[in-house]
Amino acid sequence: MKAALEIERGLIVNRKLVSRVMAELGIFGLPKKKAGHRNLVNIATSSDLVKRDFTVEGPNRLWLTDITEHPTREGKLYCCVVLDAYSRVVVGWSIDRHQDTDMVNDAVNMAATGRLRAPGTILHSDHGTQFTSWAFSANIARFDLVGSMGTIGDCYDNSPMESFWGRMQTELLDRKYWTTIVELSVAMADYIVNFYNIERRHSPLNYLTPFEFEALESVKNPFTLT
């Protein structure tokens, strides 16, 4: 909130003042779910090209992907996202009732056809069956993407992706009980396209939105592939 006031309104304010005024007005941040304990297997693999280092010098060098699920009265809905590690912008996504390879490939296809880039972009995932399938490997090969996988059962090997799901969970999914598949599908798409990419501010990006951060990059380096 402090960053938004400074960037969008030009107001230089103290964080404690913002907190006090919000409390007086009855405005509070959304609560986070308590993290559960996870047993990490930490089995090393030869295909981990990232090794928890998500620092990159420009866009389209490293993409991260993963799947999440959420219930509705009609059954579970699945969402796959492809995230650019540099700007945290969602470059591809797909939503379906089935978490199969076709859904994952749809998200990859959106990213690969929607971004101008040099060959060799790394696409980092976990060891889910969708990402270890022949169809997925063949699909990323035709786009000259280089596959990478973290250690088995370790959430830290794809931590920016996990952070994205955590934000979506808190800011959208846990705010109500979803009745229909269509209702949740529309809400997920709207969150990604109209809120996360263009409005949500990130501390690692100096409190810029993903779109603002990429626009700044294109000004600094007009030859950057975006």
For residue 175, pLDDT beyond 70: yes
Closest CA to 133 of 95, 104, 98, 161: 104
Question: What share of the chain in percent tops pLDDT 90?
Answer: 69
Query: Which of the two residues, 47 and 56, has the higher pLDDT score?
Result: 56
Q: Which position has the higher pLDDT, 212 or 154?
A: 212
**21-45 per-position pLDDT tens digit:** 666 565 655 555 554 444 444 443 4
Contact 113, 92 (CB under 8 A): no
Q: Name the CATH topology of 62-220.
A: Nucleotidyltransferase; domain 5 (3.30.420)
Which whole number is the average pLDDT over 67-95?
A: 97
For residue 170, is pLDDT > 80?
Answer: yes
Residue boundaries of the structural domains of the chain = 1-30, 62-220
Q: What is the dihedral of CA 37, 170, 80, 55, to 10 degrees?
A: -80
The mean pLDDT value of the chain amounts to 85
- pLDDT tens-digit series, residues 129-163: 999 999 999 999 999 999 999 877 666 789 999 99
